[in-house]
Structure 1
C-alpha cells in the first residue's frame, strides 16, 4: 500500500468501526495521511457489515479507502491480547459498538489506556455512553426524529420527513474526528491521551443550530417551512419554464436588486413588500408574484440575470447534474484513483490545504488483506501467523 504522506502521517489509527458514523470519522483521518488499520473478524466468523452494503459496493468502497486490512477475532482472549499489543504503539482507536460491548470484550478505554496512557480513544454511539438510552441501538433516522430535524423538514402539514442523507451518522463521525484531533493536539502538551465521545443524538441536536437557539433563547418552536427559509424572505424554490431554481433575496438591498433583475419594479412599489416584516407576513403572495415571472423563461436565463445583479441564486440539480457543473469539476470533489490494477472515483474531501492536501492513495482493502504484513511488523514469524490463522484468531 502506498504511504499516504500528509499532515497526519505520524499517527497510527486502529479502526474497529462498522456501518457509517465510525467509518466516516476514520476516513477523515485516513485521507490526511493517518496510518489506518481496519480491523474485522476473520473470514469464517465475519457476518458482514449490516448497513454498509456489499464490500464491492460503492458505499463501502467510498467509506474505507486509504486503509490496510487486518482480521482479528476480538471474541477470543488471544485476539484481545493482540489488539492490546497493537494499541501499545497506536495513537488512536475508534469504535462504534454499543456502549456495553467494548467493556464486555475488555477493549474499552480504561483497559487500553493501561497499556498506552497516550492513547486517544474515540467512541461513537447512538445516544451516548451512559444515561437512560445508552443501551438502545442507534440508527440515523431514529436520531433525525429524536433530534428534532424531521419535525422541521418537509412541506407545512405534510408530517415528519427524513433528510435524504444520513446526516446524523455523518455529523457524528465528523465531530468525532474533530474531537480526536483536538485530543491529539492537547496530548502534545500533557503527554496523555483521553476518551473522546460523540453520538448521533448529540450531533443531530447540534446541527439544528439557529433553530435550536430560537427555542433555547426565544421560546420559539420551529415548524415545517418547506422550501421557504424560515426567517430570510423571499428565499425559496421557484419554478422556471424548464425546471426549478433557488433564489435567496433577503434584506432590503438584495430584494431591490432581485425585483429589478426580474423586471418587477411594481413589487417594489407594493406596500405589502416594503419591509422585511411585510414580506414575511405576505410571503405566499410575494412568492406567487415572483414565480409568475420566473416561469416565463429558463433556469439558465434567470440564474445568469440574477447573478449579474448580485442576487444569490442557483439551479436545483440532480446528483449527476451537480457533478457535471464546471465549478464542481474545478473544485475536484470527485477524485479518481487509478493504481494500475483498478480505477475508481471517490467523493473527495471538502477541505483544501495549500501544502498538505487530502489524498486518496489506495482502494479499500480486501478482508484481512494486510494481516500477514501487519503481524510481521509486530514481530510474528510466518509459522506463528499460520498458527493464529488455523485457530481463527486472525
Structure 2
C-alpha cells in the first residue's frame, strides 16, 4: 500500500534510543530514513550486547530501533564529512539529532547553519534537558531522567514493605516516549510546512517528556498538593486494580466500574461486599482499600490463575496473567495480530523484529528494510544524492571521511 510519508526524506544523525526510535517510526510510516553513523564503530548501541544476532556482532538493542533505515558512515569531525552532510541536507526534509546543546555548531551543522542551505528544513533536536535552562548543558540518560522526573517515586513497593525502594521501569520508557513525541512533532511540522512553506526547529527534552507523561499522577499532586506515594502494583485512583497472588502464580484484576466490582464479588463467592457501603463505589473502595484488598487476596489464593481467568472472563471482569516474554510472543492474540515479524538480513539471513502496532486499512505499517549494517548504503546514497563517483568514494574512504562505501 501507499504509506503516508512516502516521498519524505529524513537524515537521522541520532544514536542510542530516543532519536533512533523517532527515525524508525517515520520509516515505518513510509519515509526514507538515512542513518548517519561514525565510520568504524557506528551507533553506540551496535555494541550493547549480548545478545547478538546469530552469526553477527549486531546487538539486539540496535536491531530494536533501526528498522527501515539506510546506513551511511560519515566522519562529522572532518571538514569534508561536514560538507557531505550539508549536501545531503539539501536533499532532505527532516533532520534528527541528539547531540549535546551546541555540539553540532562547531561542525557548522546546527539549525541556523543548515537553515541557510535548506530554508524549509525541519530540524528536530532531542536532548536530556532542552535547548535552554540551567540544566541545558548536561547529558541526560533515561534512568536518571526517570528519577529526576518523578516516575521512580511512583514505581516500586510501598515504603516499608519488603523490597521497598524507588524502581525504574523495565524498559527505557522515557526515551521511547520522547521518540514518539518527536515523531509526532515532525508530522505536525511537515503539515505546517505544507501549509506555510516554512520549516522550523523542534526542541524535545527527555525531562520535559517524563513530566508530561506523569498524567493522572501529576494531576493528583497538582490538585491535592500531596505527592503520590508508591503503591506497588496498586492504583492510586481505582480499587481493586492490582496484581494478586493465586494458588499457583499471580492474577491482575482491573475493575473499572461498580458493576464489574459486583460481578467480581459474585465470582469470589462474596456478593455481600458489593452491598457494603464501604465498598459499593470506587471512591469508597479507594478510601477503604486496606480493608477490601486483604479480603479479595484471601479468596484468590483458593484457586489457580487459569481457573480465575476463565471464571472472570466469562462474566466480563477485566483480568489477565503476568506473562514472561516467551509467553507474550506465544499468545494467540499477539500471534494473530502479527506483532512478531521476520525480515531478511544481509549477514544473518533472517532477523526477528517487533512489528509497529499501527494498522492502517487493515495493514500493519512496517518499513521494508531491515536494520542496516554499518555503512551498508554509504556508496549507494552518496552516489544518488550527492553525485559522487566511485573514484571519489574510494578516496574519501581511504582518508577516513566515510566508511563502507566499497562494501
Written as runs of structure 1 = structure 2, the 5 A alignment for 1:138-149 is: 138-149=140-151
Residue 309 of structure 2: aligned partner: 303
Distance 2:38 2:274 in 1: 66
TM-score, normalised with respect to structure 1: 0.94
Offset of 1:251 from its aligned partner? 3.0
Residue 233 of structure 1 corresponds to 239
Q: Which residue of 2 is the match for residue 390 of structure 1?
A: 398
- What is the CA-CA distance between 1:268 and the residue it aligns to? 2.8
- Do the aligned residues in 2 keep the contact of 1:138 with 1:200 (CA within 8 Å)? yes
Q: Are the aligned partners of 2:156 and 2:232 in contact in 1 as well (CA < 8 Å)?
A: yes
Cα drift, residue 274 of structure 1 = 3.1
Give the count of matched residue pairs. Answer: 389
Show the counterpart of 1:8: 5
Structure-2 residue corresponding to 1:256: 262
Q: Give 1:79's aligned residue.
A: 81
Q: What is the CA distance between 1:52 and its match in structure 2?
A: 5.9
Q: Are 1:34 and 2:34 an aligned pair?
A: no
Name the SS for the 2:342 alignment partner.
strand
What SS does the aligned partner of 1:14 have? strand
| Separation in 2, partners of 1:94, 1:356 | 27
Q: Give the corresponding residue for 1:329.
A: 335
**In structure 1, how many angstroms separate the alpha carbons of the residues matched to 2:376 and 2:284?**
64
SS at match of 1:98: coil
Query: Take 1:383 and 1:252, find their aligned partners in 2: how far apart are those partners?
Result: 74
2:356 to 349, 362, 374: 349
CA distances 1:213-270 after superposition (whole Å, capped 9, x unpaired): 2222332321111111111111111111211011122432221111012221132344
CA contact (8 A) 1:67 1:365 kept: yes
2:291 maps to which of 280, 285, 288: 285
Q: Give the structure 1 partner of residue 185 of structure 2.
A: 179
Aligned residue runs from structure 1 range 86-97, under 5 A: 86-97=88-99
Partner of 1:266: 272
Q: Per-residue deviation at 1:81?
A: 1.0
d(CA) in 2 for partners of 1:8, 1:47: 26
Distance in structure 2 (CA, Å) of the matches to 1:325 and 1:287:
29
1:206 aligns with 2:206: no
Gaps of at least 5 residues in structure 2 are 50-56, 403-407
Q: 2:250 aligns with which of 214, 239, 244?
A: 244
Deviation string for 1:131-176 (max 9, x for gaps)? Answer: 1101111110111011100001111102311111111111111100
TM-fit CA distance, 1:51: 8.2
Give the distance between the partners of 1:48 and 1:300, measured in 2 at CA: 44
Which among 106, 111, 114 is matched to residue 113 of structure 2? 111
2:45 and 2:59 in contact (8 A); partners too: no
Identify which range, 211-220 or 354-363, moves more after superposition: 354-363
Shift of 1:375: 1.6
Kindly provide the CA deviation profile for residues 42-94 of structure 1, in whole angstroms up to 9, marking residues without a partner as x.
Answer: 22xx3751686155111111211211111111111111111111111101110
Q: 1:63 is matched with which residue?
A: 65
1:63 is paired with a residue of what secondary structure?
A: coil
- 2:387 counterpart (363, 369, 379): 379
The gaps in structure 1 that reach 5 residues or longer are none
- Counterpart CA distance in 1 for 2:223 and 2:289 is 25
Distance 1:200 1:32 in 2: 23
User: In the aligned structure 2, how far is the partner of 1:358 from the partner of 1:382?
Assistant: 35
CA RMSD, aligned part only? 1.9
Range 270-279 or range 103-112, more displaced: 270-279
**Aligned counterparts of 1:271 and 1:173: Cα–Cα separation in 2:** 46
Q: What CA distance in whole angstroms lies between the structure 2 residues aligned with 1:241 and 1:82?
A: 64
